[in-house]
Structure 1
Amino acid sequence: MAALRGPRAFAPRALARALLWRWRPNPLRRRSDRFEAWIVLAMWLLAVLAGTLAGLWATRSVEENFARERVEWRPVVALLTERAPGTAAGSEHVWAEVRWPAPDGSVHRGQTRVGPGSDPGTPVTVWTDARGHLVTRPATESQASLRAALIGTLVGVSAAVVPLAGGRLAQGFLVRRRLDRWDEEWERVGPQWRWKTG
């Protein structure tokens, strides 16, 4: 029984008391204190709600975009139109011009990275969108999930900052107003104290 009386036994109660101090009855609590308590509560609820909804929306939107890219983007065999710069002994890929047929039958040209020293007419695989324009290789499902989660987290945190900043501005306004009132009261009461002590 002695172990239950230690400081850990009352930790949840003390934590609740510390978090809810603005809501407890107190004869010194002003109307502005209650108003500030509601602002703090609304600020945190809006931050959680806005952050969660914006993060989920962004994640879903990015995942749908990556899924659409995986469906629409196709690999196409392109042919080099010129000799690639460098020598075959080089290990790094170089930029060279290639041409490939578009879905409408027209021939498109662009640049992609190829092995150094490659001869004209060498086939190279490139990725194109539905209109036949060059694009990067689409993200795999795992890459898309990771990117979508990161973007969703960033958007969610950014959206949560807006209500938090608004709440802090409102709190700052209340603090300035409270200080102004204290100054007014001190101007009225201060001279009476000097009179009594003098």
Structure 2
Amino acid sequence: MAALRGPRALLWRWRPNPLRRRSDRLEAWTVLAVWFLALLTGTLAGFSVTRSVEQGLARERVEWRPVTAHLTGHAPGRAAGTERVWAEVRWRAPDGSAHLGQTRVVPGSTAGTPVTVWTDPRGRLVTRPVTEAQAALRAGLIGTLAGAAAAVVPLGCGRLVRDRLERRRLDLWDTEWARVGPQWRWKTG
């Protein structure tokens, strides 16, 4: 096993060797180029997606506003613990128009009870925007997934090229063996 250790074993495709074929050199350069492209593509895609997600979430934090809404009817259930129920609420958008929607409220709340909801610039209901720490985590995770997905493309293409080279190499071996093989029969038989 000692013969397989060290940098000499890792770089065997580039060492001078009389048995090394042109396809071996081509495969070595293909592997190197594929890994370089996968690393470059994954890194660029990951960073650009991370930056895009962070900018979108920062824009939401700036544009989305809390608004006081009022229940239009009695909320179902009884107040017990931290569980919330869906109820219809009414609020006014920044342009003064009235809106209706559903949000989670404390069970048993009466009609007219004020509830804080979050709206976008058009006055539509949205969820509470994420904090900066949550945005950084979300952007990092999405960027990592996007980078990994982008890196798979060059790796898959490289695998196809290597499979094609392997098929060609096996075909050449078959051709050479068909030419050389009959000459050995008289020596072994």
Q: TM-score, normalised by structure 2?
A: 0.95
Q: Secondary structure at the match of 2:178?
A: helix
1:105 — aligned with what?
96
- Please state how far the C-alpha of 1:104 moved relative to its aligned partner: 1.6
Q: Confirm or deny: 8 A CA contact 1:75 1:126 kept in the other structure.
A: yes
2:47 paired residue among 31, 41, 56: 56
- Please state how far the C-alpha of 1:92 moved relative to its aligned partner: 1.1
1:10 — aligned with what?
none
The 5 Å alignment of 1:119-130 reads: 119-130=110-121
Identity of aligned residues (%): 74
Q: 1:143 to 1:20 in 2, by over 3 A?
A: same
Q: Secondary structure at the match of 2:136?
A: helix
The 5 Å alignment of 1:7-156 reads: 15-89=6-80, 91-156=82-147
Q: 1:174 to 1:191 in 2, by over 3 A?
A: same
2: CA distance, partners of 1:15 / 1:64: 46
1: CA distance, partners of 2:56 / 2:82: 34
Q: Confirm or deny: 8 A CA contact 1:74 1:129 kept in the other structure.
A: yes
- Please state how far the C-alpha of 1:195 moved relative to its aligned partner: 3.3
2: CA distance, partners of 1:157 / 1:89: 45
1:166 — aligned with what?
157
2: CA distance, partners of 1:45 / 1:73: 42
Structure 2, unaligned stretches of length 5 or more? Answer: none
1: CA distance, partners of 2:82 / 2:17: 76
Q: Confirm or deny: 8 A CA contact 1:59 1:151 kept in the other structure.
A: yes
2: CA distance, partners of 1:134 / 1:89: 26
2:185 — aligned with what?
194
1:83-112 C-alpha deviation (Å, 9 max, x unpaired): 000023464100000010011211011000
Q: 1:150 to 1:90 in 2, by over 3 A?
A: closer
**RMSD of aligned Cα (Å):** 1.5
| Count, aligned residues | 187
1: CA distance, partners of 2:139 / 2:80: 40
Q: Confirm or deny: 8 A CA contact 1:91 1:116 kept in the other structure.
A: no
The answer as to 2:161 corresponding to 1:185 is no
Query: Counterpart of 1:183 in structure 2: which amino acid?
Result: D
Q: TM-score, normalised by structure 1?
A: 0.90
23-32 or 85-94: bigger deviation: 85-94
Q: Confirm or deny: 8 A CA contact 1:90 1:116 kept in the other structure.
A: no
1:49-91 C-alpha deviation (Å, 9 max, x unpaired): 0000000001000000000000000000000001000023464
Query: Counterpart of 2:19 in structure 1: which amino acid?
Result: L
1:128-153 C-alpha deviation (Å, 9 max, x unpaired): 00100000000000000000000111
1: CA distance, partners of 2:175 / 2:139: 54
